[in-house]
Chain A
């Protein structure tokens, strides 16, 4: 028993002089793994056109109903996306998102993927709804817009906080507005067209308490 104790003590003493492996976040950061499922990114084609065609499949695939898409017709002279339509609004309620990645799987154009960003906390609930401008890859210079944060495409959290709150009302948060737009029926955004074999997910159980 004594030998074991001495061995253990020697080991901990050696540990004492080894370099700590702690990463001093947020000063020190390491790149997220390639397949990290953090906050979503809306991608563009190489020519700058948005990949998203406003089909709302992501919204339908979402098990928690956290994605709100408002499609609009493309202007043929000045299209936003290569398809007929594009997403005029694209909002994700990150408080509700479970980062399952089904939206990325459902997307026919690979417009949405889950990205490396994970620092999603905020002091105001409204700001936890990511708008299209938050999610969309910058254009024309991705790298410059990405800035010093090695992990984050899209807007930085602090940049988001600096914007005047409430400039763009976030519909994925504002349920009353959503109900008004979708014809007075109490639904979760984007559950229209949901496959019939997944009825229960359209109305999450905690939904009423949320209000």
Chain B
């Protein structure tokens, strides 16, 4: 570790950035994600309600907009009921893991293109990694630990069954997801997320990689434990799955993690397939809208589709889930890589 002379503290850089710039960005991202997750729960309830011809929360604040705050207060004041035979340490840290693992991935997602402000390169991601995608694949796998540790440490059969299911599911779909992302890497010839977005300047990868996008999105639904792949917490079978024995704010952290995860996977899908912060390629006039608004708009759209799917499709049976993952999505992912690779190779040689 480098020892920093006091006078130079503000000038110390981590990678290309000053450390305090990174700190500010990190705080902003965490606050943003927490808020986004809170309002995703609100949006989820509203979408669910309107699909079922109901109105949804509308009593706390105008059209219920303060509902997340009320929920947070409720969760904070609730008693933490903990099972007696639990593994105290793991039981305590697992929920934090759930939220943290979901936030980690956001460190490398470029919300906007790099801008030059007074000669300073302002990156819109926290860590400007040139292997960002690799980092994302590594870090999103950490979520399994939160789920499995939570389910294991509670010493309850429902928790354990949910955790086992969840682990199997996440590991199975991890493969399909990784293969689905490979097409984007081949097309952009880079693991750097910013370069991947820049490669979509003329045409978004969703048009070149429709299969890859579909596979990724399905895999993302499975990785975030959303319907139709919500087997880990299948209420009708497992009470609440891996977080059965959690209550109060500890449960809240799992909930938070799940919704942050939704934001994260949507952001990854946006970056890799929907052109990140880039406006619609055809209409040149839309460039005046700042990139981060485009980015957030696309993320919101994907989150909405997740909710829409949730309130339409029923849960898959477990063996079908596994069949879909290993026997359909994985081969399709491989096929996608083969075709993409072949086309790119042929184009390069001609």
Interface string of A1-25 (1 = CB under 8 A from B): 0000100110111011011111010
Tell yes or no: B312 within 8 A of A by CB.
yes
- From the candidates A5, A12, A19, name the one contacting B51 in the complex (CB within 8 A): A12
CB interface residues, B 21-80, toward A, < 8 Å? 47, 49-55
Find out whether the CB atom of B51 lies under 8 angstroms from the CB atom of A20. no
CB interface residues, B 293-323, toward A, < 8 Å? 308-309, 311-313
Find out whether the CB atom of B53 lies under 8 angstroms from the CB atom of A21. yes
CB-CB under 8 A from B311, the residues of chain A are 12
Q: Is the interface of A mostly helix, strand, loop or mixed?
A: helix
Interface-centre pick from B49, B50, B54, B308 (highest chain A CB count, 10 A)? B50
Find out whether the CB atom of A9 lies under 8 angstroms from the CB atom of B308. yes
CB-CB under 8 A from B53, the residues of chain A are 15, 18-22
CB-CB under 8 A from A5, the residues of chain B are 312-313
| Count of chain B residues near A, Cβ 8 A | 13
In the complex, what distance in Å separates the CA atom of A174 from the CA atom of B313?
Answer: 55
CB interface residues, A 8-52, toward B, < 8 Å? 8-9, 11-13, 15-16, 18-22, 24
Find out whether the CB atom of B50 lies under 8 angstroms from the CB atom of A9. no
Chain A contacts to B: CB under 8 angstroms:
5, 8-9, 11-13, 15-16, 18-22, 24
Find out whether the CB atom of A20 lies under 8 angstroms from the CB atom of B54. yes
Find out whether the CB atom of B50 lies under 8 angstroms from the CB atom of A15. yes
Extra contacts, 16 of them, besides A16-B50, A22-B53 (Cβ < 8 A), are: A5-B312, A9-B308, A9-B309, A12-B308, A12-B311, A13-B308, A15-B50, A15-B51, A15-B52, A16-B51, A18-B53, A20-B49, A20-B54, A21-B54, A22-B54, A24-B55
In the complex, what distance in Å separates the CA atom of A9 from the CA atom of B308?
Answer: 7
CB interface residues, B 192-231, toward A, < 8 Å? none
Find out whether the CB atom of A20 lies under 8 angstroms from the CB atom of B309. no
> Which single residue of chain A is at the shortest CB-CB distance from B311?
A12
> Which single residue of chain B is at the shortest CB-CB distance from A23?
B55
CB-CB under 8 A from B54, the residues of chain A are 20-22
In the complex, what distance in Å separates the CA atom of A21 from the CA atom of B51?
Answer: 11
> Which single residue of chain B is at the shortest CB-CB distance from A8?
B312
Find out whether the CB atom of B312 lies under 8 angstroms from the CB atom of A9. yes
CB-CB under 8 A from A22, the residues of chain B are 53-55
> Which single residue of chain B is at the shortest CB-CB distance from A7?
B312
10 A-B pairs with the lowest CB-CB distances in the bound complex, closest first: A12-B312, A22-B55, A8-B312, A12-B51, A20-B55, A21-B53, A15-B51, A22-B54, A16-B50, A20-B53
CB-CB under 8 A from B313, the residues of chain A are 5, 8
B208 to chain A: closest CB distance in Å? 21
> Which single residue of chain A is at the shortest CB-CB distance from B52?
A15
In the complex, what distance in Å separates the CA atom of A18 from the CA atom of B52?
Answer: 10
> Which single residue of chain A is at the shortest CB-CB distance from B228?
A5
CB-CB under 8 A from B312, the residues of chain A are 5, 8-9, 11-12
B213 to chain A: closest CB distance in Å? 15
CB-CB under 8 A from A8, the residues of chain B are 312-313
In the complex, what distance in Å separates the CA atom of A8 from the CA atom of B51?
Answer: 11
* A–B complex contacts, Cβ < 8 Å, 26 sampled: A5-B312, A5-B313, A8-B313, A9-B309, A12-B51, A12-B308, A12-B311, A12-B312, A13-B308, A15-B50, A15-B52, A15-B53, A16-B47, A16-B50, A16-B51, A16-B308, A19-B53, A20-B49, A20-B50, A20-B53, A21-B53, A21-B54, A22-B53, A22-B54, A22-B55, A24-B55
A155 to chain B: closest CB distance in Å? 27
In the complex, what distance in Å separates the CA atom of A22 from the CA atom of B46?
Answer: 13
B56 to chain A: closest CB distance in Å? 8
Interface string of B309-343 (1 = CB under 8 A from A): 10111000000000000000000000000000000
In the complex, what distance in Å separates the CA atom of A117 from the CA atom of B50?
Answer: 30
In the complex, what distance in Å separates the CA atom of A13 from the CA atom of B312?
Answer: 9
CB-CB under 8 A from A13, the residues of chain B are 308
CB-CB under 8 A from B51, the residues of chain A are 12, 15-16
In the complex, what distance in Å separates the CA atom of A70 from the CA atom of B52?
Answer: 51
B181 to chain A: closest CB distance in Å? 23
CB-CB under 8 A from A9, the residues of chain B are 308-309, 312
A73 to chain B: closest CB distance in Å? 53
Interface-centre pick from B308, B311, B312 (highest chain A CB count, 10 A)? B312
In the complex, what distance in Å separates the CA atom of A21 from the CA atom of B50?
Answer: 10
In the complex, what distance in Å separates the CA atom of A12 from the CA atom of B311?
Answer: 8
A197 to chain B: closest CB distance in Å? 46
In the complex, what distance in Å separates the CA atom of A20 from the CA atom of B313?
Answer: 21
CB-CB under 8 A from B47, the residues of chain A are 16
In the complex, what distance in Å separates the CA atom of A142 from the CA atom of B52?
Answer: 40
B297 to chain A: closest CB distance in Å? 18
B240 to chain A: closest CB distance in Å? 25
Interface-centre pick from A5, A16, A18, A22 (highest chain B CB count, 10 A)? A16
A18 to chain B: closest CB distance in Å? 6
